[in-house]
């Protein structure tokens, strides 16, 4: 997990920095309505977030008709504490406050996302912990609309 140290506002961005065309655009725009979209393959059922234009398992072409809305709940698979961010010059800068970064399997999806964890102490983090998305106050249709994930309840 120590390999995930790129931090650009949301690690989500670092992990999914590629452009996947219309579906990715739709995914990002839907964040303004506090919706998390995924694509579900009609052939094998593999569900991936953010949406992709081809199934990663069976390469079936996917389109808007294959978009499904997720609940925003998931389970923590693992986490890491991030203390530094790249300074853009090949080195690292210390963060004022360490950031908890979780690998989360969203309930209705098969893929894993990486997101900041909030409202939780590192000691409370265990594998399988149920978490849910927390949206920033004013959503704008940007990846940063996903503020962080927090434990359910
Ligand atoms: Zn498939």
Sorted by sequence, the CB contacts under 8 Å of residue 148 that are 6+ apart come out as: 115, 116, 117, 118, 119, 134
Q: How far is the CA of 26 from the centre of ligand 1 (A)?
A: 20
- pLDDT cut 90: percent of the chain above it: 62
How confident is the model at residue 129, as a pLDDT?
96
Q: How far is the CA of 59 from the centre of ligand 1 (A)?
A: 6
How confident is the model at residue 8, as a pLDDT?
44
Closest CA to 82 of 61, 111, 103, 105: 103
Q: How far is the CA of 8 from the centre of ligand 1 (A)?
A: 31
Q: How far is the CA of 147 from the centre of ligand 1 (A)?
A: 30
How confident is the model at residue 5, as a pLDDT?
42
Q: How far is the CA of 58 from the centre of ligand 1 (A)?
A: 4
Q: How far is the CA of 23 from the centre of ligand 1 (A)?
A: 16
Minimum mean pLDDT among 15-24, 46-55, 96-105, 124-133: which range? 15-24
Q: How far is the CA of 139 from the centre of ligand 1 (A)?
A: 31
Q: How far is the CA of 28 from the centre of ligand 1 (A)?
A: 22
Q: How far is the CA of 47 from the centre of ligand 1 (A)?
A: 8
Q: How far is the CA of 4 from the centre of ligand 1 (A)?
A: 27
Q: How far is the CA of 42 from the centre of ligand 1 (A)?
A: 7
Q: Map out the domains of the chain as residue ranges.
A: 11-151
Place of tokens 């309840």: 153
Exposure letters 27-44 (e unless 16+ CB within 10 A, then b):
bbebbeeebbbbbbbeee
Minimum mean pLDDT among 15-19, 70-74, 89-93: which range? 15-19
Q: How far is the CA of 62 from the centre of ligand 1 (A)?
A: 9
């Amino acid at each position: 997990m120590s390999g995930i140290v790129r931090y650009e506002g949301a690690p989500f961005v670092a992990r999914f920095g590629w452009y996947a065309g219309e579906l990715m655009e739709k995914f990002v725009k839907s964040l303004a309505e506090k919706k998390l979209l995924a694509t579900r393959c009609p052939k094998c059922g593999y569900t991936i977030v953010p949406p992709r234009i081809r199934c990663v398992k069976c390469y079936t072409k996917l389109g808007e008709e294959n978009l499904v809305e997720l609940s925003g709940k998931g389970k923590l698979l693992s986490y890491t504490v991030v203390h530094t961010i790249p300074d853009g010059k090949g080195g690292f800068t210390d963060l004022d406050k360490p950031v908890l970064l979780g690998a989360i399997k969203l309930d209705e999806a098969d893929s894993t996302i990486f997101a900041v964890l909030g409202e939780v102490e590192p000691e409370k983090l265990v594998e399988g912990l149920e978490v849910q998305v927390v949206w920033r106050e004013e959503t704008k249709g940007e990846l940063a609309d996903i503020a962080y994930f927090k434990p359910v309840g």
